[in-house]
Structure 1
Amino acid sequence: MKLTPLQKRAERRDRNQSHVDMNLVALIDIFTILIFFLLSSATGVEILASPKAVKLPQSTAETAPRETIVVVVSADEILVDGRRVAGVSEVMGTEGDLIAPLKAELDVLRSSRKVIREENEALSKAVTIMGDKQIPYRLLRKVMYTAARADFTDVSFAVIKKYEAS
């Protein structure tokens, strides 16, 4: 059976045409729900990442955390922004309150952070201490003293917010 050129073209078009129907309404619904979920889950919750080795004390503080340099003091080591600086046993064994490796690391971080606007000067002098609730006060005092010697004048403590039953 010989087909005419018009019939060949029609047959080719029918063969190459895909008959996939997409229901765009269902896709729009899915994307709307997805966007709503992402927007609602990303609102206003600020949490500092806490290492598993550090058990933070509880507090009823209302102040939200800020983005600062974080000094983590666990039972075994002292970390600055995730890098190990010193061991607690060697720090407790030294005389005086200054922790030399911690001060050196804080000085490096302080000098690397350039302040562009004058109103952000206070933020460059802020440090957050995330100390385990079981560490001795003498160790905490050494960390605070060292932070003050490195010219960090705004010291904050990371705590777990205690919710009061109403």
Structure 2
Amino acid sequence: MRESRRLKRLQRNNNRRQAFLNLIPMLDVLSVLVFFLLFHSFNGDMPEQRLALPTSVVETKPRGTVVVSVTPETVVVQGQTVARTADLYDDRVATVHEVTERLELIEKNISETRTKPVAENETREVTLLADKAIPFKVLKKIMTSCTASGYGKISLAVIQKASHA
């Protein structure tokens, strides 16, 4: 069967049409969008800058705690390095005497500067900051040392995960 001229023309036109993306109009739109966003992000006052925050009077003073930090290298009590963490991996060591001595020294300094006497039921507090790579047996030795020094409340600092409700 012989093809008509119309059928040949349609086939020729269909072969010429290929799907391609014209980038010039898309780049124009993107450049306008970038300039718009740049202009509006750097121009104008931020709402937080215009806020006048109220002042507050604290009714109860924050609790003062002694901070014990345990890094993979050292144990630091209130800013002073007292022991190497590698030495605490030994199972023969039950308590860390360096931590106990430092805590007793801190308590002695606090009691000298304190104006009112300490109540008997008042417990002292320690906040323990530890690297997540430190095994719990090392932390347990440090916590045992803290309780031996009279620090009854021990808080282990962690990062709170978002709750999945």
Pairing 1:101–2:98 present: yes
Count of aligned positions: 111
Report SS of the residue matched to 2:72.
coil
| 2:13 aligned residue | none
Measure how far apart 1:105 and its partner are: 0.2
Q: TM-score, normalised by structure 1?
A: 0.56
The 2-side partners of 1:133 and 1:120 are apart by: 35
**Counterparts in 2 of 1:162 and 1:119: CA distance versus 1, 3 Å:** farther
| 1:159 aligned residue | 158
User: 1:25-73: CA deviations, max 9, x gaps?
Assistant: xxxxxxx957x25x58x999xxxxxxxxxxxxxxxxxxxx843000001
Pairing 1:137–2:136 present: yes
Which one scores higher on RCO, CA 8 angstroms, separation ≥ 6? 1
Q: Which moved more, 1:74-83 or 1:89-98?
A: 89-98
The 2-side partners of 1:158 and 1:149 are apart by: 20
Report SS of the residue matched to 2:122.
helix
Q: TM-score, normalised by structure 2?
A: 0.56
What root-mean-square deviation, in Å, do the aligned CA atoms of Structure 1 and Structure 2 show?
Answer: 3.1
Measure how far apart 1:74 and its partner are: 1.1
User: 1:89-135: CA deviations, max 9, x gaps?
Assistant: 12223723111111110110112212526569635x11111111221
Structure 2 gap segments, 5+ residues each: 1-48
Pairing 1:74–2:48 present: no
* TM superposition outliers: structure 1 runs of 4+ over 3 Å: 117-121
The 2-side partners of 1:103 and 1:69 are apart by: 12
**Counterparts in 2 of 1:120 and 1:165: CA distance versus 1, 3 Å:** farther
Amino acid in the other structure paired with 1:137: F
Structure 1 gap segments, 5+ residues each: 1-31, 45-64
Amino acid in the other structure paired with 1:70: V
- Greater C-alpha Rg: 2
The 1-side partners of 2:147 and 2:68 are apart by: 13
